[in-house]
Amino acid sequence: MTEQRVGAEVRPSTDPADEARLRALSSPLRLRVLRLCAFEARTNKELAELLGVNPGTMLHHVRTLVQTGFLAAQPERVGAQGAREVPYRATGLSWRTPMPHRSRVLVEVFLQQIEGVEPEELDTAWLGLKLNAEHKAELQQRIVDLLEEFKERDPDPDGEPYSLFTALHPDLNPPAPSPSGR
């Protein structure tokens, strides 16, 4: 059973299409395919080469993403050696699809994405906060609003591709002992 977001509420969903979309997004490789196809259409062969995967394996993943609506075939083109090629482009559906238990797979994708990135090109921050429920909700909403604003913008024609990963999680460090607890 998957979950669907209805306003601020998350409800269980038994829709088979929701189940298929959730399974499609549970693969780090498929999430990387969606990222590669976000701004330019790519063929199965190009994706296999970029991700170091067997073309047959890639075809399975591409078909899964097409069947669940995350990728759309673009007009056919002729490849370098005259072969017919079908490029695919991400539809943006993944941005609007609630993914319960997505955090672990997104962390795995993030780690794969930064492999090979030079340390000086990786801008990271880590901040400890102590927030009440109201302020936590405010922070989450402001982050979502900012991400939505940039997601809805058209890509800059002269822009470079960047990836942004954020995580807000409970701090599992033990609390400091109280002064009276000695």
Among 12-21, 107-116, 160-169, the minimum mean pLDDT is found in 12-21
Tokens matching residue 1? 């059973």
Q: For the chain, give the percent of residues with pLDDT over 90.
A: 49
Write down the mean pLDDT value for the chain. 86
CATH assignment at residue 74: 1.10.10.10
Of 26-30, 38-42, 80-84, 170-174, which range is least confident?
Answer: 170-174
Cα separation, 139 vs 77, in Å, equals 46
Whether 150 has a pLDDT exceeding 70, the answer reads yes
Is the distance from CB of 33 to CB of 61 less than 8 angstroms? Answer: yes
The residues, any chain, with a CB within 8 Å of residue 29's CB and separated by 6 or more, are 51, 53, 61
Q: Is the pLDDT of residue 7 over 50?
A: no
Across residues 67-74, what is the average pLDDT?
A: 96
Q: Note the pLDDT of residue 167.
A: 83
Does position 1 have pLDDT exceeding 60, yes or no? Answer: no
Whether 60 is covered by a domain: the verdict is yes
Domain holding 11, by residue range, is 2-173
Q: Are β-strands 2-6 and 42-43 bridged in parallel, bridged antiparallel, or unpaired? A: unpaired
Reading the block at residue 31, the tokens are 């999430």
Q: Angle CA(161)–CA(163)–CA(166) in degrees, nearest 5?
A: 160
Q: How many domains does the chain have?
A: 1
156 located within any domain:
yes
Q: Which of 29, 30, 12 is nearest to 21 (CA)?
A: 30
> Residue 117 pLDDT more than 80?
yes
* Residue 69 is assigned to a structural domain of this protein: yes
Structural domain includes residue 182: no
Closest CA to 35 of 170, 165, 173: 165
More confident residue, 36 or 15: 36
Specify if 181 maps to a domain.
Answer: no
pLDDT of 121 above 80: yes
Between CA 80 and CA 59 the distance in angstroms is: 19
- Would you mind telling me the total number of residues written for the chain in this entry? 182
